[in-house]
Amino acid sequence: MGESARRVAALGECMIELVRRPDGTFTMGFGGDTLNTAVYMARLGVATDYVTALGDDGNSDAMVATWEAEGVGTGHVLRVPNRVPGLYMIETDDSGERRFLYWRDSAPARDLFVLPDSPALVADLESYDLLYMSGISLAIWGERGREVLFPMLDRLRARGGRVAFDTNWRPRLWPDRETAQRAYDAMLRRTDIALPGVEDLRGLYGDADADSAMARVRGAGVTEIVLKLEKPGCIVSAPGVEETVPSEKVAKVVDTTAAGDSFSAGYLSARLKGLGPVEAARSAHRIAAVVIQHRGAVIPRDAMASVLDG
């Protein structure tokens, strides 16, 4: 993949994040699957823009300031008057597994592709070298948004740009399974680097195991696949490569929030720096292993010292 991919963007939604602490109190932050990936990519030395829509409130201002402090580009954050971001709450059990509660139905990110400024945004995104999005992104944009998204991706790929997609299946975000399947089918046909999960594809399509999940993604024409397994690890499939890559061992899992998001960041960052798919997967596992030993979606930067460049 190499350093030739100079313009990189992640597309999706960031929400206000409330995390319940063991003593019952809450701390507030900001998170969302593709935003988490953008932050971790920026920390790993890959200049990444975040593409979303926010309101004109103080929390939206704080989000933008936080992203800029992380080195994430905010030039394509659309602002919508009299709107506020969505909100989610994380509750984590003793084993580190988490439960999410959402308040996001009127979030401006849902309207990203149908706002007055959207045509100019779309025109510029077509010039990017790599766009990254997730199944959550697909869901929140709805049919109207996807009608804009898919032709834009076709134009981007026609001129040599690439698309990366994390399946991130959330059934509650979709009106029905058939609508979701059509959207995922269309998205996979436009994907160059897929980061699916076995559990995602079983939930969405009923695929029984890793072999059937891999066959489905290959059948859509995706040439580079990193299939996340139910047991820790992944299978990397790319031209001339087919290898199972085990995950890093962790003494204690504290919080699995953003494990997949940081994995995607690690993988894509490594590929953009010229590493091969298998080495990129190993790097991704190292990043995720650090993240799950801390609470919250975006962990403190100093907690990542062992995996950051320099």
Active site residues: 261
Q: What single string gives the DSSP state of each residue in 91-139? A: EE-TTS-EEEEEE-TT-GGGGTTSSTTHHHHHHHHTT-SEEEEEHHHHH
CA dist., res. 253 & res. 230, Å (int) = 16
Among candidate residues 223, 220, 162, 169, the one with its CA nearest the CA of residue 196: 169
Query: 224 has which bridge partners?
Result: 193
Which residues, in sequence order, are CB contacts of 54 under 8 Å at separation 6+? 14, 60, 63, 64, 77, 78, 79, 80, 83, 85, 108, 109
Angle at 130 between CA 41 and CA 237, to 5 degrees: 85
Tokens describing residue 74: 């905010």
CB 241 within 8 A of CB 276: yes
